[in-house]
Amino acid sequence: MNAGQFAVFGHPISHSLSPQIHQAFARQFGLELRYLTIDAAPIDFESAVREFFAEGGRGANVTLPHKTAAFAMADERSEAAKRARSANVLTSLPGGRIAAHNTDGAGMVRDITERHSVDLRGHTALLLGAGGAAQGVAWALLDAGVETLTIVNRSPQAADALADAIGDPARAHSRYWEDLAGLGAFDMIVHATSAGVLGKSLDLPFAIVGNRALCYDLSYGNAATGFLAWARTAGARYAFDGLGMLVETAADTFELWHGRRPDTDPVYAELRKQYA
């Protein structure tokens, strides 16, 4: 059965595992689909997406740096996308309209709590970054029961805006990046900046890592290597990359597009072998 044409948009995008994951899910149901990787510079993103849908595309995943732009261009938006004001999934609607969704937060929490069996309730969490990726997971962390969420970003205005959007100053607040060393230790540190993807390093103080700390990078593979190495050196109890999150968010997307829920465990296990 032919399920149609899909794609993932990013810049860069050659590293993406999304085609492999969606093809693996499709085989579980005997579906045939075409899944492309499309590298679009920010200035070309919207026109590239509209061209893809005009030529018969049914759905698109969206990654760095386009998640905010994906949200902005949509005609309809899911509640998760509205909260995050960013989207990692776009779906074609009748009449040339486009729907935006965000599955990042749900996928991350499911990976942490179900695959890695870590209870987030009561944790003090530090979110590094305030862009589209960070916006996609911030609310999910609070929904999962973290006690407080401290947001830091190189551009303090973006961190302030995200904290203000959450609107719960007793639990979510922003701080300056330059003050990291003096913020104390955290139970959870989520790396949501683009530094790893762009091959840049972060100079982070070991003092922010608490005794039971879970360090989680939303990236995977080479992009997560630097942060995870820092976390292990700092004595973090857990250090995970975002490979499981990627698989879980893809499963949510696959179900949205095809109405069937794939089994994520064998797909994750196979990908983990590749990155062992």
Contact 66, 80 (CB under 8 A): no
* Helix pair 132-143, 156-166: axis angle to 10 deg: 40
Do 29 and 59 contact (CB within 8 A), yes or no? no
Write the CA distances from 82 to 46, 57, 107, 242, 245, integer angstroms: 19, 24, 17, 23, 20
Is residue 67 among the annotated active site residues?
yes
Catalytic residue among 67, 82, 200, 273: 67
Tokens encoding 243 = 């490979």
CA torsion, ordered 55, 58, 63, 69, to nearest 10 deg: 70
What are the two backbone dihedrals, phi and then psi, of residue 219, each rounded to the nearest 5 degrees? Answer: -90, 180
Question: Could you give the residue numbers annotated as active site?
Answer: 67
